[in-house]
Structure 1
Amino acid sequence: MICKITPERRAADAAWLSELVTASGIKPQQVEGFTDVKPMPPRSKRIDPDTVLKRRRTGISRTERLWLRKLAEAL
């Protein structure tokens, strides 16, 4: 899945938010620890071989059930 939020979109959103803050008349305060936002590291492409994907098997259909019943009666 590709992230659809581009750096240009982030910059446009930041500009829009700053316009809202300046229009409201509130004086912004810089909070310690929120000066630099770092992006999350990319996910690993590695698949753990010990991980077993458990997929639920679909149930048999009515036609398969009837076919198996006929097969069992023939025996």
Structure 2
Amino acid sequence: MKEKEIEELNIRIESLEEQINQIKKTLDTAFEGEQAKWQQVFEAVDMNFKEIRDYANDTFLHADTFWEIHDKNKLN
């Protein structure tokens, strides 16, 4: 290969490396945005599960209390 051809190839390689780095940066930025969106979704779902759990615990606690009182009344 001629020296000029080698130089042209090196220039093309450098250009491709720059383009690849730019693509990587773009993908990283996009991923960070998506990750933030999914984090919000997970937090909302987690909060709903906690509310459901608390509601169920309160409901069953009241149900247990009702049956305890009911059984006490049966004994009396």
Sort the TM-score into its range (normalised by shorter chain).
under 0.3
Higher relative contact order, chain-length normalized (CA < 8 Å, sep 6+): 1
TM-score w.r.t. structure 2 length?
0.27
Larger helix proportion, structure 1 or 2? 2
TM-score w.r.t. structure 1 length?
0.28
